[in-house]
Chains A and B, each alone.
Chain A
């Protein structure tokens, strides 16, 4: 990787040219992360902020709580349920976006080359509008007096409005909608490179439709599947706006819980520790991704 190629040696010039990028990376990316990591091991300030005294309290409070009267230690059930909900909803979002994304990406990749750009354009349209506005739009659709309930009641399919808003279902719907393009695009890129003649080869060698899908198509587009799943799973896990707006106050996810610690909770070390946990989860999933895709593609 660092092998020097003639005429392209990394001399002083190379370092000078990359200095602005390096400084930006250091200050804008690594700096904040470092601050978060340091804050997580400090004592919490009286109202907010931190006191510069080393303390494990922040990390301790991620999983446990101490009774304020008798100081008994127990698992923090409220935190655990938030973690569980975050994982559950993120995995569900990933699975649902994959279920919708694969046929969509397949459809686009099999259109004539001329019309593909048009379909991809449609996929990217939601990116033009602010996430908050789109989330409020979903709220308008699913609230009790919203479009969906009015429609269903008008046709007599239901007599009472269904309570969707401020439930996990609402959060799931919102996240599925928001992250679907992030699943479709990498899947499309993978299917676009797929050699469709291999399907005929599979059929020719006695594979049924299902066997061709499982034994030929999915393994070959696997890098795209993993990329899509990671692109959906990671932001889902840290989602803030969607659960805040559609989940209401009580259906918190990790993102909202972290925000709470830096805001009303006034517990910056706990917030910082939670952020670091989230970061580590993301790193682990990325590691899994690199492993999985490099094992299958020894030649890239």
Chain B
């Protein structure tokens, strides 16, 4: 058994098994983390995605060593680190607040971890130079953190965490304080750094777009539980439940009933979709870009209640007969523009419809 785990874990950087975290006890106890098991591979860019309070940061802090799980174990490269203090874990964190040492220069901040590990000063200097070059901050080595802009501080925090060459880099919503343009830049910067260094990144965010563009795999969390783990493609195209579908991108939900291999929705229309073995009451998750709007009659018909022009795309909110709505995203130049009040035909790409248990 022990041997089996060792062989199994050669490719696994972080292996969390049945990790739970409960704050307080008795009636006032709060479960921050249910029973989460997750295996993160070496060299992977893994994102923990979920709304605030879902437990993603708690899980990250358990891996970093700032919190001790109430139940379960955490292994790092096959070694049990559940109860190791943070300073004995080859894991570094990029904090949401950056937490740069205000009394130390940029170079001293970046060299802090290596210095604490007892690396000789000349080696520290070399490593600092190399890492600062990696984040393009060579010119700022002697500045103090408060003399830098937010984006620069962010990169110092990144350099500081990368300098000791940790096995795993933990990033706790590091981009949330940056403005949109800078955030986009840092996203590709992070991706580049991860590829160049080959270090396993565990990235925590509540921004689904960030998660989709950067990650190799995503773990979607809600209320202390891990709902789905998969590639961005899997998570987007085949969400396991309504929460995941709703959280990742915009989604239309139509309630229906399975009836002879098809689904009868509220309007009374039958939709031929891939049932995936579901029976009884189901929810159809339909992405807005999979809904096409036609002037002529189609599978369904409805009346446009809202039309929003977004440049390349136009969003139509279409009221169906039973009071439910569908949002369609249509390329602005692909069809004649419709206006509010127009009655239109709706076609849904049946293959793209995800059938979820109601």
A203-B65, A203-B86, A206-B116 in contact; A299/B147 too (CB < 8 A)? yes
Which listed residue (B87, B101, B102, B147) contacts A206, Cβ 8 A? Answer: B87
| Chain B residue at minimal CB-CB distance from A300 | B146
Contacts of B91 in A (CB 8 A): 204
A200-B66, A200-B95, A201-B95 in contact; A207/B116 too (CB < 8 A)? yes
Contacts of A245 in B (CB 8 A): none
B233 to chain A, nearest CB (A): 33
Query: In this assembly, does A11 line the interface, its C-beta being within 8 Å of a C-beta of chain B?
Result: no
A200-B86, A299-B144, A299-B146 in contact; A206/B99 too (CB < 8 A)? no
Most buried by B among A200, A216, A219, A298: A200
Whether the Cβ atoms of B147 and A204 lie closer than 8 Å is: no
Interface of A is mostly: helix
- Interface positions of A from 193 to 223, Cβ below 8 Å from B: 195, 197-198, 200-208, 211, 215-216, 219-220, 222
Interface residue tally for chain A (C-beta within 8 Å): 21
Query: In this assembly, does B97 line the interface, its C-beta being within 8 Å of a C-beta of chain A?
Result: yes
Contacts of B92 in A (CB 8 A): 204-205
Query: In this assembly, does B117 line the interface, its C-beta being within 8 Å of a C-beta of chain A?
Result: yes
A90 to chain B, nearest CB (A): 28
Query: In this assembly, does A77 line the interface, its C-beta being within 8 Å of a C-beta of chain B?
Result: no
A226 to chain B, nearest CB (A): 14
A204-B64, A205-B112 in contact; A298/B85 too (CB < 8 A)? no
Contacts of B117 in A (CB 8 A): 206
Whether the Cβ atoms of A198 and B99 lie closer than 8 Å is: yes
| Chain A residue at minimal CB-CB distance from B163 | A205
A205-B112, A206-B116, A206-B164 in contact; A200/B147 too (CB < 8 A)? no
Query: In this assembly, does A140 line the interface, its C-beta being within 8 Å of a C-beta of chain B?
Result: no
Contacts of A207 in B (CB 8 A): 87, 112, 116
Query: In this assembly, does B113 line the interface, its C-beta being within 8 Å of a C-beta of chain A?
Result: yes
Contacts of A160 in B (CB 8 A): none
| Chain B residue at minimal CB-CB distance from A197 | B99
Whether the Cβ atoms of B160 and A205 lie closer than 8 Å is: yes
A72 to chain B, nearest CB (A): 55
Whether the Cβ atoms of B87 and A203 lie closer than 8 Å is: yes
Whether the Cβ atoms of A219 and B93 lie closer than 8 Å is: no
Query: In this assembly, does B103 line the interface, its C-beta being within 8 Å of a C-beta of chain A?
Result: yes
Contacts of B95 in A (CB 8 A): 197, 200-201
Q: How far is the CA of A179 from the CA of B184 in the complex (A)?
A: 55
Q: How far is the CA of A247 from the CA of B216 in the complex (A)?
A: 75
Q: How far is the CA of A195 from the CA of B95 in the complex (A)?
A: 13
Contacts of A296 in B (CB 8 A): 103
A65 to chain B, nearest CB (A): 49
Which listed residue (A197, A198, A204) contacts B86, Cβ 8 A? Answer: A204
Residues of A within 8 A of B (CB): 195, 197-198, 200-208, 211, 215-216, 219-220, 222, 296, 298-299
Q: What are 17 A-B contacts with C-beta separation under 8 Å? A: A197-B95, A197-B97, A200-B66, A202-B112, A203-B65, A204-B64, A205-B92, A205-B116, A205-B161, A206-B87, A206-B113, A206-B164, A207-B116, A219-B103, A220-B101, A222-B103, A299-B147
Q: A204-B87, A222-B103, A296-B103 are in contact. List 6 more A-B contacts (CB 8 A).
A: A200-B66, A200-B93, A200-B99, A201-B93, A216-B101, A219-B103
Please provide the 10 A-B residue pairs with the shortest distance between their CB atoms, ordered closest to farther.
A205-B113, A201-B99, A206-B116, A203-B86, A207-B116, A197-B99, A219-B103, A206-B87, A204-B93, A205-B112
